[in-house]
Structure 1
Amino acid sequence: MASIREVSTGSGARSVTELRNLAVAEFISSWPMAPYAEFYTFTGNADAPRKDYGEFNAGDTRTTSTDYTPKEKAPQFASVSLKIYGDKVQTDIAYERRGGDIGSQRVTDLRRFAQSLGRYFMDATINHDNARDSEQITGLKAQAAALSRVVTWGTNGTVLDASTLKSFLELLDEQILSIPGGPTCIIANGKFISRLTNLARDYVRVEAAPDVFGRQQLVTVYNEIPIVNAGFKADRTGLVIGNDERVGTSNNCTSIYLVRFGEQQDVTFATNVGLDVQDLGLVGTKYVTLVEFDVDLVVLNPNALVRIEGIRF
């Protein structure tokens, strides 16, 4: 498994290891997918990794003195084009002029920015769409739709309560089994996690696990599969996965995502040097720290992703 920490190696003379390590740690703490997402690296701006679309049709039979029937299927390749996520962190020189520790203030500003960038990239992981904005990656919502991997629970959605729990768990288990090897995690919002935890106590448990800073965090698990809370958007204007999605005549639905991550397989993130941090020094009246993340999200195995929509409360 190649995590974002492992692939963030830096680039150029202005790349600062200490600042990069700090930014990566803060980014990880605010990007809920960090413990589960897998990356692969390549050189350049674009790549064409091979998809797993079943071109390997293994297994056959034959009789004595005969050969196996030839099977040929052209391989398919994905199109990867790195997108740049990031911004410039600016710290006013006035802090220094007024006797403050400008180094400490820059670190504080970088830490807060990296946390916000993690939340922003969580929104990107689900909701960004390259078809709408060419500067964005294509998130899981659009990827699932393009691959026809969206399952609707009820024509107009269905309320998840005690009376429908059995039906929902059957659907959930069926979709889990549709992913070869099973999903790495389930992505949902806090309302869904709370509802499922209270209704399905025999199947859901909460575990304590340390985060990147060693702090104990609670992780909800359904049949040994972690459920990740997508949380709020970076600007706090709403949830990454809302409760206002439209299914049929209902506009109060939510979705969950079942995802299997892999390193250059299944669902994977592509990058060159990961999250990079460069000290641009004093520019005008501001000390400038450049934070950039060249990345793309690609589905190499269409069976590694399922979105279940139409869940109501």
Structure 2
Amino acid sequence: MRVVVIGGTGHIGTYLVPRLVEAGHQVTCVCRQQRNPYHPNEAWKQVQLVSLDRSQLEQQGKFGQAIADLNPQVVIDLICFQIDSARQLVSALQGRLDHFLHCGTMWVHGHSVEVPTDETQPRHPFGDYGIQKAAIEDFLLREIDQRSLPTTVLHPGHIVGPGWLPINPAGNLNPAVFAQLEQGQEVLLPNLGMETLHHVHADDVALGFMQALTHREQAVGECFHIVSAKALTLRGYAESLATWYGQPAKLRFVPWEEFRQQVSAQDAHLTWDHIAHSPNGSIEKARRLLDYQPRYSSLEAIQQALSWLKNHSV
């Protein structure tokens, strides 16, 4: 198949593009600039790289047609964040593709009602990112005739892997939290530390896209959670990492308002966003229809990322 991957040199594309090449597909990677993927792979030598500035072309009303001009049979869009972007792309691709795959997010659910959350639960998105992604999903799966654009939407959790910093047990990106756990120092957690995070290795997300392509008949017109088998509580995450570091977990739990006052504004903002969502997704639908079998647990994916960062002195 002729496959165009939009945003193919990022976290997911680093693993997805080589998988596509190895499966025998003819792959074109569209990105804004000719940046290297996070990890080298010989498969990239067989990939056509096309540099397109999506924002600029969308302002000119030309991005969708630019993708259509590449004559794909399959388009995988990893970087669509606004409903208007989705509408422009779809208008140019309807009636021309065998399969269109969109990367969504677990954030479309907003807060959970029952956990683990499955794909049938009502959406309560909040925050611009979740609201826009939910609108895109609704547009792609409910407004578009699937005969004119066979579509699948995949919803990853917190993507993690070698090359970048994971969301930490406090629900933000401050690397000091990992250092404190490694050194046996006290770590501050909000509330009782029972909110959840749901990490997924980037290669398992790539696997999800591959399985959706392989099981096209079951995938078209559907959305799927693509996460690890189980979410982590903040407390369980911190305790497990401390054990991995060979240290006792010294955790102090404080009410949200006290936590917010003791960390930076940026850390507080990220923590609140993560604990307010507390994603905990079921992968039973993906297992049943796509034979999706993630290789990594959340903790294994996180540990691999942390080991890479330490070995590369990042």
Common fold: TM-score over 0.5: no
Largest Rg, 1 or 2: 1
Length-normalised TM-score, structure 2: 0.24
Higher RCO, 1 vs 2 (CA within 8 Å, ≥6 residues apart)? 1
TM-score by length of 1: 0.24
Higher helix share: 2
Richer in strand (by share)? 1
